[in-house]
Structure 1
Amino acid sequence: MAVVKPFCGLRPAPELASRVASLPYDVMDSDEARALVKTNPYSFLRVTKSEVDLPPEIDIHSPRVYEKAKDNLAEFIAQGILRQDSEPCFYVYKQKMGHHVQIGLVAAVSAEEYEHNIIRKHELTRPDKEQDRVDHIRATGAQTGPVFLTYKATDTVSGLIDQAMAEPPAYDFMTEDGISHTLYLVADRALCSRIEAAFQQVDVLYIADGHHRSAAAARVRESLRKSNPGHNGQEEYNRFLAVIFPHDMMQIMDYNRAVTDLAGRSPEGFLTEISRKFIVELKAGGGAYKPSAAHTLGMYLGGCWYKLTAKPNSFDPDDPVGALDVSILQRNLLAPLLAIKDPRTDKRIHFVGGIRGMKELERLVDSGRYAVAFSLYPTSIQELMAIADAGEIMPPKSTWFEPKLRDAMVIHLI
């Protein structure tokens, strides 16, 4: 069963919510964050990317950065920018991006269930990124950004979420990217109990985004458990902050690739070698090729777009990982032809979220900094869940979820 708990959330004063809420720490670099904070001193980036308030040359993993995050969080609380609810609540977070709407439950979920694979994973974590989140949680005493979870939708949970949205929202604002963010409080104890009971009928939860945050929360929990002689399992550090969406509301976009060179090959020779594993078609009539079906890819090379269709013998359709388009591209082209053996560490490959569109791939190649770019068909939520259920690991950068959750809508203190 999935354990979800209400908690006393720390959140912005209503009149400041739109200014405090910020994009996640890992979707921008320090210079971009500094520019945003310069025009908005209320931005929660001052906590999640606290190097913005320190000299530009500082190492972002310096103890001073985590100490500054702690100080800035305390300052936000002291000034009333952030306030803690006096009673445990659930929260409902609704986002609207164009025609797409997603509605999730903000809750504290079990670190123990994460360790026992009731909260299922599909990606490996990097030790440095995981340690960064451990240090941030320990310094601030808070989980400042939520883990993005999903579950197989149920009518019972959906009905309860609808009830929770019957009251006026606590926040309702639109960010500069045109995405609306609405937050509802669920303070009614009876409704909270029904929500808890409904999730006990949900077998598993799946991490959509936030593997480093969840892994870090589990590590912090284990450390605090060992150092607390009175540990009873009910402490807030046993749980971590999550927003939980039904699978049928998830929007996964393509996650595309650009590569700096052709590994010594000419464009003509490259096309010849690709044809061993793919049917190669020059796109007639100009314009980008955005794949409309699985096992087809777009390629932008030398100012032209090509459609690449994976030949049947190039992958195993019964292998849930191997049949992913990102795997087909990696195993049949990037590794053998472009010598990109480990896309996690190779500096010659660049990943481009689908939100940036095909024009971004063209721009990168036309600039001369990249030789070739590939557009992919998005991984489906069903593929993600099947891989997690099988205990398998997806290739890096397989999924790009939109819209992004804003940090500081609700914060979980441990």
Structure 2
Amino acid sequence: MTKILPFKAVRPARPYAGLVASRPYEDYSETELRSQLEYNPYSFLHIVNPGYKFQHDIGGARRFEMVRNRYLEFREEGTFIQDPKPCFYVYKIKSRGNSCCGIIAAASAEDYERNVIKKHEDTIAPREQIFKEYLKVVGFNTEPVLLTYPDSELINSVLAETMKQRPEYEFATANRELHTLWKICDDENVNKIRKEFGAMSKIYIADGHHRSASSYLLAQESKDANPDHTGEEPYNYFMSYLIAESNLRIYEYSRLVTDLNGFSKEEFLIRLDEWFRIENRGFEIYKPSKKHHFNMYLDGEFYSLYLRHTNYEFSDSLSRLDSFILYEKILKPILGIEDLRHDKRITYVHGRNDLIELKTRIDSGEFQVGFGMLPANIEEIKQIADENLTMPPKSTYIEPKLRSGLTIYEF
């Protein structure tokens, strides 16, 4: 049984929604960030970058406190309002060629603990603790965890009926996306959605493993500190965006490496030959068409690498994953890269950027070799989660990516 609840969102008043909503802070270049902060007083970036008001960089616990202050100012000035009744929020994002729609709701920290909410990535304990402290000080969450569930005709029908109504928000962004949000507050449809999710034995984290882990840590700490704990306090839940599996867009990450770990080009190719059948594609831009096929760009030429199945043994779902094969047979044993998160010799380019970027960065001399693969699919992700295994870092780049500031969950 999966527990998904409506909540009383704090959100922009209707006139300000398009101005408040922002991309994640790290997505902005320095020039874009400065422009937004200077010319848009309603941008949510003013909350997450509170030192701008004083033209001063602020870090650590002081920054968390000032984030809280900027947030309270937005509430006091009427930029933010709070719904009087718990609601589900239907959020649709439409871009060129793609459209997705899901439900913003509160998911249960207890479900996370019981593994009803399934994970497929490892988390880093220090990052969990930092974000937990951030949540504890600011008292709100504005970055939903992306959860996915099997397609449901009942939920689809509720969403379709809801989207016939006038939306709360409808605005376009500079990257040619259309963002639309509706509320579901009536008891009948709220209960339908709760009951439908309640019948699901499990759902899956698509993106946001650290956010969910940090929210769980905060729930545990708050529970221990509250002698009157009931289990229904807001800290027992975390804000999530629930989307049907068919609406997910899953892309791969290419790997770029600065050097060949002391090998010459010829020696490196000989080492690869043990596990892969290699074809030189020359100047032809090659992208794999099957699982266990890889592309490689080296010294101005593309290569196709086909895993030798007669040599490689599949033992579980992780061993079949292309990013794992690439790590186990090339990155670690040949190129000497063991720590995929922190080794400065490796970087990643997500599949929304084409192979031209990979080629350009290698041709520039910044990197010496690059590898690509097909993206993982939802069934691979679910199977790895069901087997309680974890993917290598940067195995998936998953969309949609939501705007910050449209719905806020207070603890």
Q: TM-score range by the shorter chain?
A: over 0.9
Instruction: Within 5 Å, give how 1:163-202 maps onto structure 2.
Output: 163-202=161-200
- Paired position in structure 2 for 1:65: 63
1:13 counterpart letter in structure 2: A
Instruction: Within 5 Å, give how 1:127-146 maps onto structure 2.
Output: 127-146=125-144
2:183 counterpart letter in structure 1: L
Answer whether contact 1:251 1:401 (CA < 8 A) is retained: yes
- Paired position in structure 1 for 2:20: 20
**2:8 aligned with 1:8:** yes
Q: 1:291 aligns with which of 288, 307, 311?
A: 288
Answer whether contact 1:147 1:207 (CA < 8 A) is retained: yes
**2:209 aligned with 1:220:** no
Instruction: Within 5 Å, give how 1:262-281 maps onto structure 2.
Output: 262-281=260-279
Q: 1:371 aligns with which of 365, 368, 377?
A: 368
Instruction: Within 5 Å, give how 1:62-211 maps onto structure 2.
Output: 62-211=60-209
- Paired position in structure 2 for 1:247: 245
Distance 2:56 2:285 in 1: 39
Distance 1:212 1:77 in 2: 27
Distance 2:248 2:19 in 1: 26
1:124 counterpart letter in structure 2: D
1:343–1:84 Cα change, 3 Å: same
Residue deviations 1:94-115, cap 9 Å, x none?
A: 1123222211111001011111
1:204 counterpart letter in structure 2: K
SS of 2:271's equivalent in the other structure is helix
Distance 2:29 2:207 in 1: 18
Distance 1:201 1:166 in 2: 27
1:323 counterpart letter in structure 2: R
Q: 2:401 aligns with which of 380, 393, 404?
A: 404
2:173 counterpart letter in structure 1: T
1:44 counterpart letter in structure 2: F
2:404 counterpart letter in structure 1: D
Distance 2:216 2:190 in 1: 25
SS of 1:368's equivalent in the other structure is coil
Comparing 207-216 with 352-361, greater Cα deviation is found at 352-361
Answer whether contact 1:314 1:328 (CA < 8 A) is retained: no
Deviation at 1:163?
2.2
- Paired position in structure 2 for 1:323: 320
Deviation at 1:280?
1.3
1:301–1:35 Cα change, 3 Å: farther
1:221–1:258 Cα change, 3 Å: same
Residue deviations 1:301-358, cap 9 Å, x none?
A: 1111111111114543452111111011101100011100121221111011112221
Distance 1:292 1:38 in 2: 46
Unaligned residue ranges in structure 1 (runs of 5+): none
Distance 2:222 2:162 in 1: 34
Residue deviations 1:341-380, cap 9 Å, x none?
A: 1212211110111122212211221221111111121011
Distance 2:303 2:279 in 1: 5
SS of 1:221's equivalent in the other structure is helix
Superposition RMSD in Å = 1.9
1:357–1:42 Cα change, 3 Å: farther
Residue deviations 1:77-120, cap 9 Å, x none?
A: 11222111111110011112322221111100101111100011
1:52–1:203 Cα change, 3 Å: farther
Distance 1:314 1:76 in 2: 61
Residue deviations 1:153-177, cap 9 Å, x none?
A: 1222222222222211111222222
1:209–1:48 Cα change, 3 Å: farther
Distance 1:38 1:376 in 2: 41
Answer whether contact 1:9 1:412 (CA < 8 A) is retained: yes
The total of aligned residue pairs comes to 411
Deviation at 1:224?
1.2
- Paired position in structure 2 for 1:338: 335
1:55–1:273 Cα change, 3 Å: farther
1:331 counterpart letter in structure 2: E
Q: 2:236 aligns with which of 235, 238, 241?
A: 238
Residue deviations 1:115-155, cap 9 Å, x none?
A: 10001111111123212211221111101210000011122
SS of 2:404's equivalent in the other structure is coil
Q: TM-score, normalised by structure 1?
A: 0.94
Deviation at 1:53?
5.1
- Paired position in structure 2 for 1:310: 307
1:43 counterpart letter in structure 2: S
Distance 1:110 1:31 in 2: 39
Answer whether contact 1:8 1:85 (CA < 8 A) is retained: yes
Q: TM-score, normalised by structure 2?
A: 0.95
Deviation at 1:198?
1.1
Answer whether contact 1:315 1:328 (CA < 8 A) is retained: no
SS of 1:23's equivalent in the other structure is coil
1:114–1:287 Cα change, 3 Å: same
Distance 1:72 1:186 in 2: 29
Comparing 356-365 with 335-344, greater Cα deviation is found at 356-365
Identical aligned residues as a percent = 38
Distance 2:3 2:202 in 1: 10
